[in-house]
């Protein structure tokens, strides 16, 4: 049996904070990430944290299938 591809959708909103000095990684950001299938969302200040949240959401269906 072939494994079905995992399809996940995310809405990512980036807000650059005006009036602040850019840090070593660029201008300060506020990030909102929403996983469309579950409605879970996360607010963070770093793109790395947003990516970690998306990776976590991608693991949810696989964990549920293995239980």
Per residue of the chain (67 residues), give pLDDT as tens: 677 788 899 999 999 877 777 777 667 889 999 999 999 999 999 899 999 999 999 987 665 555 5
Predicted TM-score of the model (pTM): 0.73
As given in the structure block, the two tokens for residue 43 are: 């607010």
Q: How many Å apart are CA 8 and CA 13, to the nearest integer?
A: 17
Number of H helices, E strands in the chain: 1, 3
pLDDT at 49: 95
Q: How far is CA 33 from CA 16, 19, 57, 67, in A?
A: 15, 23, 11, 27
Q: How many Å apart are CA 29 and CA 47, to the nearest integer?
A: 8
């Amino acid at each position: 049996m072939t494994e079905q591809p995992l399809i996940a959708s995310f809405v990512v909103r980036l807000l650059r904070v005006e009036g602040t000095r850019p840090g070593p990684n660029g201008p300060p950001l506020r990030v909102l990430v929403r996983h469309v299938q579950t409605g879970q969302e996360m607010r963070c200040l770093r793109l790395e944290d947003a990516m970690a949240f998306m990776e976590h959401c991608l693991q949810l269906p696989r964990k549920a299938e293995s239980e």
